[in-house]
Chains A and B, each alone.
Chain A
Amino acid sequence: MISVGLLLLAWELYATYSGIKPTILPAPSRVFEQAMLNREALVDNAIPTIRATLLGFACSLSAAFALSMLVDFFQPLRRALFPVFIVSQTLPLVAIAPLVVLWFGFGLAPKIILVALVTFFPMLVALVEGYEATEAEIGQMLRAMGAGRWRIFMLARLPSALPYFFAGLRISITYAVVGAIFAEYAGAAKGLGIYMLNAKNNFRPDLVLAAVGVSAALTLVLFGSTVLLQRLAMPWERAGKEPVGMGSRR
């Protein structure tokens, strides 16, 4: 928080006293002022971005979850599928975004696809590695109790993957916002991405930065909610930090 404040202060001082034109580098105070003046347009453009982010992320999450289970139950699938997914991660977004827009039009669909594309693989890897992290002894014990594979998955492998899942979630949610903005940049009727493009073309860097500010705030809120969600979903994590037992602790 303090570092952000100092950065803004330095920027403000530089923009004011170096004589640089506000059409090149506007001071933060001007960006804020313009953001306030244009807040209706900003909100209007933020909504489609939020919608694309959340819908795309929901799609990739369900797909990653379904596929992670499939991979966990049929290990050979992993070797067959992972190279494909790894390649999908190396595709440059700059090249792919216009193509997807070309194929799927200016509507919501291409945005959802792009967001899903950038977030799917990190989520899949997080889940698959999470399952693998299950303590071998827990598996052996459950088998000795008479549990089948499905039972072991539900009782042990799935909960073991939770910390990995949330780590993946925190990273992916930031990718998701970037993915949505990129998709809009490549072509959209409304959205923060197209708003930035238009502002840039109109020589309004202050409005570009205002939109950047909105997207940053959006990312922070989403990131914060994943942290909150993790706290709610994993109460034992926090409980573990305040031991109440007696005797020795390992």
Chain B
Amino acid sequence: MSRLELRHVRKAFGGLDVLADISLSVGVGEFVSILGPSGAGKSTLFQLLTGAEHGEGEMLFDGAPLDDHGRHFAFMPQRDALMPWRRILDNTTLGLEVQGIRRKAARARVAPLFAEFGLAGFERHFPAQLSGGMRQRAALLRTVVQERDMLLLDEPFGALDALTRTAMQRWLEQMWRHHRWTALLITHDVREAVFLSDRIYVLSARPARIVREIKVPLPRPRSLGGDAARQASALEAEILDIILNPNPSKGHDHD
């Protein structure tokens, strides 16, 4: 059974159609990406999932309608949303604190993860004292320690320079192999989607509909050389082609 399933989800802001028709599913332990051009409505989809906005259509979680939005998702917003006034340690325990866990217990739970996330020694620093990549890892740490059923990651590496971004992608892939989170990732980076995902949904420009669903049959750990790398490049080229030469007749028809 799917962990998350969306059926014909639509959303308009006033007269502006943002999501035209979104149907997708994410299985348990699966890493799925949503790939689409800027302004397509990707973040809007997460607003619906987290309950910040309401749309039409069905949203099912483990087969039941999604109602209590607070329970299922650990959400990482597009900007890191670290609180400048909290030290990194206190930023990462935020979700646990909201869940009502005592500060001491919450700290004990995040502390061992600092090394894994490359943040050891920076517990007492303020976000402004960290590099972009470190901030992003802190935001990710804050997200995963909540131990929710599913991660929602909105362009976690979008604001980083190319080098840092590549390093972070490799790091995340490795982390994912350890933890096997169920994850839905938003990105507009084709390489990132192919490198990290089990499956990719390609979105059209606004109003967004799903143009194509693509399985990524590459073995894990994802390597950077050899046969798999050639396969990955071919897949990237194919996806770029879909995005840059939209041809509706080839896409999945949801009407």
Contacts and interface: CB of A to CB of B under 8 A. Distances in A.
B16 interface: no
A144 B83 contact: no
Interface residues of B, number: 40
B132 A248 contact: yes
B81 A137 contact: yes
Contacts of B128: 236, 239-240, 243
A155 B128 CA distance: 18
Which of B84, B146, B159: most chain A CB closer than 10 A? Answer: B84
19 contacts: A138-B81, A138-B83, A141-B76, A144-B69, A144-B70, A144-B74, A144-B152, A145-B70, A145-B146, A236-B126, A236-B128, A239-B125, A239-B128, A240-B128, A242-B129, A243-B130, A247-B134, A248-B131, A249-B131
A-B pairs with the 7 shortest C-beta distances?
A240-B128, A146-B70, A137-B77, A245-B131, A247-B131, A144-B50, A144-B75
B159 A250 contact: yes
Nearest to A246: B131
Contacts, number: 100
B47 interface: yes
Contacts of A140: 47, 50, 52, 75, 77
A245 B71 CA distance: 34
Nearest to B159: A250
A135 interface: yes
Contact of A248 (B77, B133, B152): B133
A249 B134 CA distance: 9
A247 B133 contact: yes
A236 B79 CA distance: 19
Interface of B: 47, 50-52, 69-71, 73-79, 81, 83-85, 94-95, 98-99, 122, 125-135, 146, 152, 159-161, 164
A88 to B, nearest CB: 32
A162 interface: yes
Contacts of A245: 122, 125, 129-131, 134
Contact of A247 (B74, B83, B85, B132): B132
A245 B136 CA distance: 13
Contacts of B127: 236
Contact of B85 (A143, A146, A159): A159
A151 B47 CA distance: 20
Contacts of B84: 236, 240
A143 B70 contact: yes
